[in-house]
Structure 1
Amino acid sequence: MVRLSAITPSGPVQLGNYLGAVRRWAVDGGEDDVYFISDLHAMTTSHNPSRLRALTREQLAVLIAAGVDPRSVSVQSDLVRELGALTWVLECTCTYGEAARMVQFKEKSVGRPSVRLSLLTYPVLMAADILLQGAREVPVGDDQRQHVELARALARRFNGTYGEVFAVPRAVVPPTAARVRDLADPSRKMAKSATDAAGTVFVLDPPDLVRRKIRRAVTDEVARVRYAPEEQPGLANLLEILAACTGGEPAALADGFTGYHDLKEATAEAVVEELRPVRERTRQLLDDPAELDRVRAHGAERTRDRCRHRLDAALRLSGLG
């Protein structure tokens, strides 16, 4: 059974991405699973082409360095011709109303005098990502569940109108992972595209910078180490990060500390050691562009081979070619 997940190069990979997704892909991924860098999705808003290209390569290197099977990894734009063809077929299957009611489109377009058309249509591209690979399970959070439902609707509609081509995917809740919050503002998730990086630990941050960010993490004035996410969200965030890096339980770990300083120091060192091998291997890959290009080319070819028959059938049955 094929599972499909992606990461968008809207910024450098941060600790939440790594603990919540990338590390899980490396441990739990199967040989049929598909993990890709969704660089086309990063173009729905204004972007810098050179930065997009650099972030795409960096994210590819991070995935490989983290232990994700290189045979399962690819870059979305390497299949731009295949995806472009299927996206058009699916756009001719989708209605305007279905696209316009997507919550993310509504939220990101509100109050703006003009938005890119791709912001409206990218859920159809996401459906093409899913259906082209024959994915049956798509682990997503609540913010992407609606997009998977659109992919399901388009798969059923195409199959019913033209003939059976696509597996009907379903959204699944990913295994419980670390809930990493912004160190400077624990009311929000840690994000790779945050405008203020003071509360975000990036995978490639040098150790001293990681330590400095965690030492400055917002806590509270209660002056008591306990796991109470509602009353002490900043402290709970540190305990959850420490637990994710050490395999412990936040509440149990809290009993081992009498002060915030010691907790911050322990969390900082745990994060530094967790990220150290990934950071070092990523740097090696980025310093060896030929090897990274080889891995990327192999992933693209394998992914292309897996989807070719499905695309050919979709084009033929819909009257093209």
Structure 2
Amino acid sequence: MKDQRILSGVRPTGHIHLGNYLGAIRQWVHLSSSLSQHSSNEQLFCIVDQHALTTPTDTKDLASNTHTIAAAYIACGINPDENTIFIQSHVPAHTELAWYLSCIAPLGWLNRMTQFKDKAGKDTGQAHLGLYAYPVLMAADILIYRATQVPVGEDQKQHVELARDLAGLFNRHCGTDYFPLPEPFINKATARIMSLRDGSKKMSKSDLSDYSRLHLTDDNDLLALKIRKAKTDSDPIPDNVKDLENRLEALNLLGIYANLTEQSLQAVCQQFAGQFFSAFKPILTDAVIATLQPIREKIFQLKDEKTYLQQILHKGSETANRLSQRHLREIRSLLGLVEC
């Protein structure tokens, strides 16, 4: 098996939720477990706090959210003894490489980035440079570690492809093969968890309705309330998943249960066929609580043990800085910059 270095990241904007867990973090835990069987493989987990500044952020909550993400990584099963957990802003090499990449990144490539258009809205003239340059910083996050794979959802695939293109452009510019070309790692079986209020939208930290998502830190009563209020329809659960095609909210709740219990959606439909959601929701609530309660308790325990969490982040930043600074010296040399 070829040596792999894998980088994963979460923005500390708002509360981390069930969609983040089922759609990303749980997959990272499984991936980490398989990679750890080969000592030459590495996995880095970054809390990308500088990316959080590219969209409106309540700065008074940023530090707390950052620590919550770190605690959630560990609480969800990422072993800090086998993986590097660190904060982006603690590793200055990210932004230095972002500048070097911005000096070769064609504007045409950045103009094609769909997330900028989505987040900037119609009035792009009022959008900030940081939001426009977000993909270049993300490319630097990846390339500074010479990462080979990046686990992402479909919405971030374009950014990893840009990182790959910039790596190739840098290599050609400097006449080298220094950067490996990173691959987006997209697990097709990964859950896509939707809003509890609108089955056509992803569960999101930015949704204005707190009842659209299940936070990892919600207490059991609040989880039960949110599921009870989740949008559904008045029809019974069908025995065939094909009959859910136009019932997005029903599909979402059954999909959450299927993912939590690690069953196929078809098996869940057959299990509850003919039942109404008034009877299904308490069963779903029990499954959600069984998964999230131990995670929530571990998050709060870790946040109370501030010294331990700080030690993990300090150790992770030391590892990330050591690796990134070595690469940065090599990158500067390739660019012809003079070292002191």
TM-score relative to the length of structure 2: 0.90
- Per the alignment, residue 149 of structure 1 pairs with 161
Aligned positions of 1:199-214 closer than 5 A: 199-214=212-227
- Over the residues paired in the alignment, what is the CA RMSD in angstroms? 1.6
- Is the Cα contact below 8 Å between 1:45 and 1:119 reproduced in 2? yes
The answer to whether the aligner puts 1:109 opposite 2:102 as a matched pair is: no
- Per the alignment, residue 39 of structure 2 pairs with none
- Per the alignment, residue 61 of structure 2 pairs with 51
- Is the Cα contact below 8 Å between 1:225 and 1:235 reproduced in 2? no
- Per the alignment, residue 292 of structure 1 pairs with 309
For residues 198-234 of structure 1, what are the alpha-carbon distances to aligned partners after superposition, in whole Å with 9 as ceiling and x for unaligned?
1210000000110111112111122344433323222
Aligned length: 320
The answer to whether the aligner puts 1:86 opposite 2:94 as a matched pair is: no
- Per the alignment, residue 29 of structure 2 pairs with 26
- Per the alignment, residue 17 of structure 2 pairs with 14
Q: Distance in 2 between matches of 1:220 and 1:261?
A: 10
- Is the Cα contact below 8 Å between 2:157 and 2:184 reproduced in 1? yes
| Alignment equivalent of 1:194, drawn from 207, 225, 244 | 207
Structure 1 residues 261, 83: closer, same or farther in 2, change over 3 A? same
- Give secondary structure in 2 for the equivalent of 1:40: helix
- Is the Cα contact below 8 Å between 1:225 and 1:259 reproduced in 2? no
- Per the alignment, residue 316 of structure 1 pairs with 333
- Per the alignment, residue 233 of structure 2 pairs with 220
- Per the alignment, residue 139 of structure 2 pairs with 127
- Per the alignment, residue 279 of structure 1 pairs with 296
Deviation, structure 1 residue 170: 1.8
- Per the alignment, residue 3 of structure 1 pairs with 6
Q: Distance in 1 between matches of 2:190 and 2:230?
A: 21
- Per the alignment, residue 230 of structure 1 pairs with 245
Structure 1 residues 120, 274: closer, same or farther in 2, change over 3 A? same
Q: Distance in 2 between matches of 1:223 and 1:248?
A: 20
For residues 235-293 of structure 1, what are the alpha-carbon distances to aligned partners after superposition, in whole Å with 9 as ceiling and x for unaligned?
22111111111122222222333232221111001000101111111000111111110
- Per the alignment, residue 171 of structure 1 pairs with 184
- Per the alignment, residue 75 of structure 2 pairs with 65
Deviation, structure 1 residue 194: 1.1
1:96 is aligned with what amino acid? L
- Give secondary structure in 2 for the equivalent of 1:309: helix
2:263 is aligned with what amino acid? G
The answer to whether the aligner puts 1:246 opposite 2:261 as a matched pair is: yes
Q: Distance in 2 between matches of 1:155 and 1:255?
A: 48
Structure 1 residues 293, 111: closer, same or farther in 2, change over 3 A? same
For residues 110-154 of structure 1, what are the alpha-carbon distances to aligned partners after superposition, in whole Å with 9 as ceiling and x for unaligned?
422411101111111011011011111122223222212221121
Q: Distance in 2 between matches of 1:199 and 1:157?
A: 42
- Is the Cα contact below 8 Å between 1:165 and 1:310 reproduced in 2? no
Deviation, structure 1 residue 2: 1.3
- Give secondary structure in 1 for the equivalent of 2:26: helix
Q: Distance in 2 between matches of 1:22 and 1:269?
A: 21
| Alignment equivalent of 2:52, drawn from 42, 55, 59 | 42
The gaps in structure 1 that reach 5 residues or longer are none
Deviation, structure 1 residue 175: 4.5
- Per the alignment, residue 259 of structure 1 pairs with 276
Q: Distance in 2 between matches of 1:273 and 1:68?
A: 19
Structure 1 residues 185, 77: closer, same or farther in 2, change over 3 A? same
- Give secondary structure in 1 for the equivalent of 2:271: coil
For residues 32-89 of structure 1, what are the alpha-carbon distances to aligned partners after superposition, in whole Å with 9 as ceiling and x for unaligned?
112211111111122222211111111111011111122332211111x211211111
Structure 1 residues 229, 300: closer, same or farther in 2, change over 3 A? farther
For residues 19-41 of structure 1, what are the alpha-carbon distances to aligned partners after superposition, in whole Å with 9 as ceiling and x for unaligned?
11111212221341122111111
Q: Distance in 1 between matches of 2:281 and 2:331?
A: 55
Q: Distance in 2 between matches of 1:208 and 1:252?
A: 28
Q: Distance in 2 between matches of 1:148 and 1:259?
A: 42
1:39 is aligned with what amino acid? D
- Is the Cα contact below 8 Å between 1:223 and 1:259 reproduced in 2? yes
1:295 is aligned with what amino acid? I
Q: Percent identity?
A: 36
